[in-house]
Structure 1
Amino acid sequence: MTTNLTRTAAVLTLVGVPTGLALTGGLGETVLVGALAVSLAGLVLAARRWPLTVLVLCFCTVASWRVAGLIGAGWLWPATAALVALVLSGRLRTAIIASALMLFWGLNWDTFVHPHSADWVLAQLGGETLWVAAALAGASAYRSTLRWRAETVHRIAQDEQRRELEAGRRRAEERVEIARDLHDVVSHTLAVVGVHLNVALDAFDEEPEEAKASLKLAQEVRGRAMTDLKTLVGVLREDDLPAMESLERLISRVRDAGLHVSFNAVGDPVELPAPVATAVYRVVQESLTNTVRHAGATRVGVTLRYAPGSVLVDVHDDGTTTGPVTDGHGISGMRERVAALGGALTAGPVKNGFTVRATIPIAEPR
């Protein structure tokens, strides 16, 4: 559970327990009911870190209050938030077993220890069973949605990497062909120039005009060859970079996975050197992947700020990590890539979520 979701569950517990007891006719002393609601809400605040412990404590609290006669109804539904937290942590089976045991305990208590009519037991426990089943189903569906979103973004990242590898392979093949052309141009030029130089050398004394013409032809061949060589070498030196269209396509595909992503470019856009453009793309790609897989966020903003001599990449989401930030989240790799270009990257939780921020110099190294 994220921090916002945990707080919402605590508030719902604080309000829902007195309301539910009033609706089920099990409302006891107002002060006692308020104390129960506050106790359960306080436990829910710790559910993100210790979901199973919180669930056990909630069950024990509700059961003890029922056994002591402090409240007259409700075995399981006051602990709904704890059950949801357990499901979101990936323990659906545990939540189902715990719910079944608690309902069985309540059935025996209300039937044999503190007997009620069959209609009363059926109404109370039947209603609780339906309520808990709906809560568990909803929590399971929400968790499945988060997992589907994470898998989708992971596939997107893999597809992008495969496309880049394939593009790199094609570029390598093209450069091999260009290198062969370069070899052919050099070989042909040297051969032709050599022939004309030999002719000029043989005719230098007896036919100076013919020697002069041969030297002129050799010079022309050399000039044409130099033009071809410059063109081929220029192609070999070209650096492909992830264009802005590629970045926007990545963001669009993440949106299709169900995550609300906003993208803004601030300042006057400039053409980024290939290493810088690649670093920008990788930072955004890795940050979005981590957001979906680890943060449980619903919204994320990507901002590029162009400043004189540098570009700032800012990726901020409204979720939180479920543990300490480690190199396993890909942050170390992003930091090393940015540092290699003379930039700096910071990443960590902030007041309203999690932020990755990288500042990269635009000027290419000399």
Structure 2
Amino acid sequence: MNFIYIGAAATLLGVPAGLAMTGGNAQTVMTVSLAVFLAGLVFAARRWPRSVLILSVLTIAAWRPAHLIEAGWVWPATAALILTVLAGHVRTAVITGAAAMTWGLLWDYGATQRSSDWVFAHWCGEALWVGAVLAAAITWRNNARWQELELGRRRAEERVEIARDLHDVVSHTLAVVGVHLNVALDAFDDDPEEARASLRLAQQVRGQAMTDLKSLVGVLREGEVPSLASLERLADQVRAAGLPVTVNEFGDPVEVPAPVATAVYRVVQEALTNAVRHAGATQVTVTLRYAPDEVLVDVRDDGPGSEAVPDGHGIAGMRERVAALGGALTAGPDERGFVVRASLPLIRS
């Protein structure tokens, strides 16, 4: 809407001033009437930009041969020309401007007493003005479209990131809670106390999942991210499900940027979830190695594994998350179980 008001004001003031500068009589009633009429049309350009442009150019083309104005074929309709381009009708603006300039050149050569040099010089000046206006308007529009596309791309990346985090939190929680529920179901008749203990642990894990989901909302609202200090708490959840987890750290701890810390946390979370759900493991070892320029994370279980990497969103999500930070991730069985290994450069934000 701001462009509408600016265009109307510029037309109202610019047409008389421009006609005076180009040799026209800016004091005549018709000149002021033309300015008011074209400025009024600008307000309709929001809804009918092409119609306003064509009507503006036709008005100028009618008044000029009638000697109601003495200069200009297209430039008095500059505001309508710009608004037509910004509305996305670039072809209409270019064709209308070119047609008006061609008609003006033919009329001036055939029906005026001016010399050919004068006609050509004034036509070239107006053509340069129209060309510059079109180029500026197209550049502005393209830049605005690029910004919209970039914003859409960033929003898409954020949605993918949110989907990964939700998958990591929910799948990990369901895996651990599922183990406890199975234990409680098996012990329900023979050992009610063990069944109650398993249900209490399941409830604790569920409560922790709610905390994690609240933290995820905090990430969306405030930019908070999981820290590497939370890995021990993550391991405790898996230990409570009956799967021993060892967390080892080697090297001098370094300041890990937030995106890298989040990626390491999610990789470990997904790998532990897979170990609980799929591997049939009896032991999991999480190893962090700090180097001056990278962090290495290795999650290894002693389950039988398989020749094929489990298909699903988890492994693919981990690989995409790590690759987005310039790192690399491998996942697959070896002679001692299943291994997820990732290396992430210490990017600085």
Give the TM bin, normalised by the shorter chain.
Answer: 0.5 to 0.7
Q: How does 1:94-133 map to 2 (within 5 A)?
A: 94-133=92-131
Are 1:149 and 2:147 an aligned pair? yes
Report the equivalent of 1:246.
220
Name whichever of 64-73 and 238-247 sits farther off: 238-247
RMSD: 2.7
> Do the aligned partners of residues 70 and 233 (structure 1) sit closer, same or farther apart at CA in structure 2, a change above 3 Å counting?
closer
Name whichever of 184-193 and 240-249 sits farther off: 184-193
The counterpart of 1:232, out of the listed 202, 205, 218, is 205
Q: How does 1:131-280 map to 2 (within 5 A)?
A: 131-183=129-181, 185-186=183-184, 193=191, 225=198, 228-235=201-208, 240-241=213-214, 242-248=216-222
Amino acid at match of 1:72: E
> Do the aligned partners of residues 73 and 176 (structure 1) sit closer, same or farther apart at CA in structure 2, a change above 3 Å counting?
same
Q: Tell me the secondary structure at the aligned position of residue 243 of structure 1.
A: helix
Q: Measure the CA separation in 1 of the matches of 2:220 and 2:209.
A: 23
> Do the aligned partners of residues 173 and 107 (structure 1) sit closer, same or farther apart at CA in structure 2, a change above 3 Å counting?
same
Tell me if the contact between 2:177 and 2:202 (Cα under 8 Å) persists in the aligned partners: no
Report the equivalent of 2:226.
none
Aligned residues: 223
Q: Deviations over 1:233-283 (max 9, x none)?
A: 43455561453442355xxxxxxxxxxxxxxxxxxxxxxxxxxxxxxxxxx
Tell me if the contact between 2:7 and 2:42 (Cα under 8 Å) persists in the aligned partners: yes
Amino acid at match of 1:129: A
Report the equivalent of 2:8.
10
Q: Deviations over 1:195-241 (max 9, x none)?
A: xxxxxxxxxxxxxxxxxxxxxxxx6x678656534423434555614
- Please report how far the alpha carbon of residue 27 of structure 1 lies from its aligned counterpart in structure 2 after TM superposition: 2.0
Q: Deviations over 1:37-70 (max 9, x none)?
A: 1111111111111111111211121111110112
Amino acid at match of 2:141: R
Tell me if the contact between 1:175 and 1:236 (Cα under 8 Å) persists in the aligned partners: yes
Q: Measure the CA separation in 1 of the matches of 2:222 and 2:90.
A: 37
Q: TM-score, normalised by structure 2?
A: 0.58
Tell me if the contact between 1:76 and 1:103 (Cα under 8 Å) persists in the aligned partners: yes
Q: Deviations over 1:138-168 (max 9, x none)?
A: 1111211221222222222222221222222
Report the equivalent of 1:91.
89
Q: Tell me the secondary structure at the aligned position of residue 213 of structure 2.
A: coil
Q: How does 1:301-340 map to 2 (within 5 A)?
A: none
Q: Measure the CA separation in 1 of the matches of 2:48 and 2:55.
A: 11
Amino acid at match of 1:247: R
> Do the aligned partners of residues 174 and 121 (structure 1) sit closer, same or farther apart at CA in structure 2, a change above 3 Å counting?
same
Tell me if the contact between 2:75 and 2:129 (Cα under 8 Å) persists in the aligned partners: yes
> Do the aligned partners of residues 100 and 191 (structure 1) sit closer, same or farther apart at CA in structure 2, a change above 3 Å counting?
same
Q: Measure the CA separation in 1 of the matches of 2:17 and 2:4.
A: 20
- Please report how far the alpha carbon of residue 84 of structure 1 lies from its aligned counterpart in structure 2 after TM superposition: 0.8
Q: Tell me the secondary structure at the aligned position of residue 45 of structure 2.
A: coil
Report the equivalent of 1:59.
57
> Do the aligned partners of residues 177 and 57 (structure 1) sit closer, same or farther apart at CA in structure 2, a change above 3 Å counting?
same
> Do the aligned partners of residues 63 and 192 (structure 1) sit closer, same or farther apart at CA in structure 2, a change above 3 Å counting?
same
Q: Measure the CA separation in 1 of the matches of 2:205 and 2:186.
A: 15
Tell me if the contact between 2:173 and 2:205 (Cα under 8 Å) persists in the aligned partners: no
Q: Tell me the secondary structure at the aligned position of residue 64 of structure 2.
A: helix
> Do the aligned partners of residues 232 and 38 (structure 1) sit closer, same or farther apart at CA in structure 2, a change above 3 Å counting?
closer
Q: Measure the CA separation in 2 of the matches of 1:233 and 1:28.
A: 79
Q: Measure the CA separation in 1 of the matches of 2:151 and 2:108.
A: 50
> Do the aligned partners of residues 248 and 74 (structure 1) sit closer, same or farther apart at CA in structure 2, a change above 3 Å counting?
farther
Q: Tell me the secondary structure at the aligned position of residue 46 of structure 2.
A: coil
Segments of 5+ residues of structure 1 without an aligned counterpart are 195-218, 250-366
Q: Deviations over 1:72-94 (max 9, x none)?
A: 21111001111111111111111
- Please report how far the alpha carbon of residue 177 of structure 1 lies from its aligned counterpart in structure 2 after TM superposition: 2.1
Q: Tell me the secondary structure at the aligned position of residue 143 of structure 1.
A: helix
Amino acid at match of 2:207: G
Q: Tell me the secondary structure at the aligned position of residue 46 of structure 1.
A: coil
Amino acid at match of 1:148: W
Q: Measure the CA separation in 1 of the matches of 2:55 and 2:35.
A: 13
Tell me if the contact between 1:43 and 1:54 (Cα under 8 Å) persists in the aligned partners: yes
- Please report how far the alpha carbon of residue 183 of structure 1 lies from its aligned counterpart in structure 2 after TM superposition: 3.6
Tell me if the contact between 2:184 and 2:199 (Cα under 8 Å) persists in the aligned partners: no
Percent identity of paired positions between Structure 1 and Structure 2: 38
Q: Measure the CA separation in 2 of the matches of 1:71 and 1:227.
A: 89
Q: Measure the CA separation in 2 of the matches of 1:168 and 1:49.
A: 43
